[in-house]
Amino acid sequence: MDLVFSSTRELAAAIRDRKISAVEALDAHLAEIDRHNEAVNAVVTLDREGARARAKKADEAQARGDALGPLHGVPFTLKDTHETLGMKTTVGFPPFADYVARKDSPVVLRLKAAGGVLVGKTNVATMLGDWQSNNPLFGRTSNPWDVSRTAGGSSGGAAAALCVGMTPFEIGTDMQDSIRLPAAFCGVYGLKPTEHRVSLAGAFPDPAGAPRSVRLMSCIGPLARNVEDMALILGIIAGPDGSDTDLAPVPV
């Protein structure tokens, strides 16, 4: 089994069926980060030891016969705009270089509750304000197909990491093509959902005080290497959770 380029669904099924362990899945993706990140600069924060501890706990939970979520043991990275407990969220902006949220955003909580193993954060445009992913903290993310070219933005690190097998799925944000453009540039799939499908709470910088028009345009959505995985991830992160009163209580 190709642990790196299998779909999220296939990887989760292999872990659930004990064909592979969560630690083995993690190690395969960490190896791809080590192999490619110097060239493409996609992953900017890496919690190697924390991820390994979480993967071991996932394997222990399975051995005990605990109930397993749809992402049990699956490693993943996140765009560096989602607030994460114990991990920096910088949006590529020097004043936020050491910002660590006091809690996970609702999207992150749902991914973790589904069993996902958070590995690290991926590069963005400074304050998400460009169609390439370049900032003073981490520099520029390159396109994996041609490192002389851009991976797009502002979710360029997410798309590039997904393209080369550093993660089986990603979570981006999109107001003006910030998911869709990098996905197209890097040859993966990206979805900007309908507004009010996914909670914007904990998407840093917080859009809560932004004009209504901006909130209508701002969305959180999945990136993946196939449409089925995008549907899986959207089904996990979408829906009301009490943190965002704009969310509609309707099925995905």
CB 43 within 8 A of CB 120: yes
The Cβ of residue 192 has, within 10 Å, a number of other Cβ atoms equal to: 22
Under DSSP, the state recorded for 221 is E
In which residue are the tokens 């995985």 written?
229
The Cβ of residue 94 has, within 10 Å, a number of other Cβ atoms equal to: 11
Q: How confident is the model at residue 207 (pLDDT cuts 50, 70, 90)?
A: low
Instruction: Report the predicted TM-score, pTM, of the whole model to 2 decimal places.
Output: 0.96
CB 91 within 8 A of CB 81: yes
Q: What ranges make up the beta strands (E) of 96-231?
A: 117-122, 134-135, 139-140, 142-143, 146-150, 169-174, 189-190, 219-224
Question: Of the candidates 44, 42, 89, 50, which has an alpha carbon nearest to the alpha carbon of residue 202?
Answer: 89
Q: Residue 192 and residue 173: Cα distance in Å, rounded?
A: 8
The pLDDT, as a whole number, for residue 209 is: 65
- Computed from CA positions of residues 141, 96, 84, 52, in that sequence, does the dihedral angle turn out positive or negative? positive
Residue-wise pLDDT tens digits, 9-23: 999 999 999 999 999
Q: Strands 219-224 and 169-174: what pairing? A: antiparallel
The pLDDT, as a whole number, for residue 211 is: 72
Which residues 6+ apart lie within 8 Å of 147 measured at CB? 39, 40
In which residue are the tokens 């998911």 written?
179
The pLDDT, as a whole number, for residue 213 is: 65
Q: Which two tokens stand for residue 13?
A: 């099924």
Residue 226 has pLDDT above 80, yes or no: yes
Q: What is the CATH number of domain 8-237?
A: 3.90.1300.10
Catalytic residues, by residue number, are 79, 154, 178
Residue-wise pLDDT tens digits, 131-168: 999 999 999 999 999 999 999 999 999 999 999 999 99
